[in-house]
Amino acid sequence: MRNDRGKTNNTLTRLLSSMIMGLMTINTVTLADSSRPKLVVGIIIDQLRTDYLEYLREYYGDKGFNRLIGNGLYLPDLDFRALVRDPATATALLYTGNYPAINGIPAASLYDHQSGRALPALNDPATIGNFTNATLSPASLRLSTIADELAIDGGGLGLVYAVAADAQQSIVMAGHAGNCALWLDQNTGNWCSTTYYRDFPQNISRRNHKQPLSHRVDTISWRPALPLNRYPGIPGRKLNYPFTYTYPSNDKAVYERFAVSPPGNAEVTDVAIDCIDALSLGHRSDAIDMLNVAYSLAPCRDIKDGDYRLELEDAYIRLDAQIARLLEAIDRKTGLDNTLIFVSSTGYYNDATPDDPKYRIPSGDISLKRIESLLNSFLSAKYGNGDYVEGIHRSQIYLNATLTDRKGLDLKTVRDEAREFVIKMSGIASARTLYDLLSDTSAEAEAVRLTIDPKTSGDILLTFTPGWNVIDDQTYPTTVTPVRESVVLTPAIIYYPVITPRTISETIDATAIAPTVTSILHIRSPNGAQQRPLKY
């Protein structure tokens, strides 16, 4: 009897051991899931256009854009729906999967009632800068992002970094849970961050000390990469004058100009590759790492004759080479077979330059300071002297609610009368209050509704007549913005071995990018994502 009981116990022991080993094996398989990548790379390219991307494909190599388009899910018509006009707003939409009205980033800068001036959307006085005086954090970003959900999935063990010339774009890409957002300080040229993030890579500190951009910028120039006769569609008058742009350190705007230039894109690639190598991204056995990189294809503003086509084509060809460099570094360190890459435009194109008067295109100038002055005079004549307009920012008029309350006025009535007054001004195409937008069912009103945040929007929202020049002369230096509302197609690409290479020609909502990326990763979508993932 004793022997039988002993055999039974041994059998139970072996069975339990087998079950435990099986559970351990299942857990190991889950951690080393071969269907999930080791590294995710997000690449956002400000103002990337589908027509130029495709027009220049024969001028690219086979390791950059062509490699991604030919082996990935190519979306040539990505619709942002909202009226995005800057990298931070567009990137927040892409990474949260929701519109500016909900995600908290309706514009790169927002009017601050307390100071009476515009501040960065991610301004956060509770933080301090690392190699910068800027005080920024993702606290104002109200939703989780792709990066946040990936960090949560890995239990905080995966590394999440972002590299961009633009500070707020970098912070949005790194998200709330990232390790570090790196950007180029436009006052010093240092690569910097915010103390909101717990890490600051030693390799970046060394870079700032040993090879600072401030010591190199004078030696950097931008010239054509190809003989001029090789650029397609360029008029003959441009082919005799090769451009040269330099970045003298005594120029107060030197780092701002550098940041949106091809040499600036090369600098971003250098730092991104440095992070891949120094941080061993893609080499954690139990979590997925993420690297986010931002580039710019904004039209060159240094052009004298307004014809930027040559520079723009060169910028695309040069960026293709930078994408190839980045992909080769990833392949060398982690392997492209182990990497999910998504690329997206920011969904807009700021090609507005004043037309030469000789072409006699209908135009005019409209001054924000004059709008404020005339509206104050009108309301003062009606209700008594006072500064009824608190400020105008981003084509939004902010009325002085404290003054109207002190005078016992109904703010809605004042708002309606102000709207009716300004709509009669030349150069203003429309003037709406938030309540007007809520009751307007037109497609134009819907685009505005998706863009504005009711918590930070002005009392009256203006749109200006195309062809006119909006002069912001309220602060120094004065800026002139020509109004142009032409729509261009903007693309996205998702690259990963499990994806069957193909082109989806129909229009795709930009908010579908985030849930599609997270679906491929088998993780949760960001908490505010609006769309179902695309079928891949």
Residue 3 has pLDDT above 70, yes or no: no
pLDDT score recorded for residue 5: 44
Binned at pLDDT 50, 70 and 90, residue 33 comes out as low
Task: Write the secondary structure of 439-472 as one string of H (helix), E (strand) and C (coil).
Answer: HCCCHHHHHHHHHCCCCCCCCEEEEECCCEEEEE
128-159 pLDDT per residue, tens = 999 999 999 999 999 999 999 999 999 999 99
244-267 pLDDT per residue, tens = 999 999 999 999 999 999 999 999
Sheet containing 339-345, strands listed edge to edge, beginning at the edge strand earlier in sequence: 129-130, 191-194, 180-184, 160-164, 289-296, 39-46, 339-345, 492-495, 73-75, 502-503
Look up the CATH architecture of domain 41-351+490-521.
3-Layer(aba) Sandwich (3.40)
Helix (H) or strand (E) holding 502: strand 502-503
What does the pLDDT average to over 495-504?
A: 95
What letter represents residue 254's amino acid?
Answer: V
Between residues 63 and 5, the one the model is more confident about: 63
The CATH fold assigned to 365-482 is Gyrase A; domain 2 (3.30.1360)
Distance of CA 369 to the CA centre of its chain: 30
Binned at pLDDT 50, 70 and 90, residue 416 comes out as very high
Residue 193 CB partners (closer than 8 Å, separation 6+): 129, 130, 131, 132, 180, 181, 182, 183, 200
What does the pLDDT average to over 50-58?
A: 98
pLDDT score recorded for residue 356: 84
Residue 20 has pLDDT above 90, yes or no: no
What does the pLDDT average to over 381-407?
A: 96
State yes or no: cis peptide before 477, omega within 30 of 0: yes
Percent of the chain with pLDDT over 70: 94
Domain ranges of the chain: 41-351+490-521, 365-482
What does the pLDDT average to over 466-476?
A: 92
pLDDT score recorded for residue 75: 98
Whether 41-351+490-521 shares its CATH topology with 365-482 is answered: no
